[in-house]
Amino acid sequence: MTQNTTIHVFVNRRKVEIDQKELTGEQLLRVAEFSGNEWDILSIQGEGDPTGGELIMFNQVIQIKNGDHFRVIPGNRTFGA
């Protein structure tokens, strides 16, 4: 028995609806309307996450739960260079 459930997550503070419980980092970017491969995706514990988040690779399969938070940032950034 399959249940058609919409899962709500937040990408850069914007609510995004997803209709599957797992997807790759690349699929998450597409659903959140980011194009190209120049982005880094971070799984965060809500806004103000003191850890800075955990990097999600493009081909990494992630389990999605209601209320998950993600941050998408430019992948070409350089810190302290």
d(CA 17, CA 10): 9
Q: What is the pTM of this model?
A: 0.83
Name beta bridge partners: 70: 11, 43
Q: How many CA atoms lie within 13 A of 39 on its CB side?
A: 21
Across 10-14, average pLDDT = 95
**CA–CA distance, 23 with 57 (Å, rounded to integer):** 11
Neighbours of 34 (CB within 10 A): 16
Q: What is the pLDDT of residues 32-81, one digit of tens each?
A: 999 888 899 999 987 778 888 999 999 999 999 999 999 999 987 665 54
Domains of the chain and CATH, by start: 7-74 (3.10.20.30)
Alpha helix (H) ranges present in the chain?
25-31
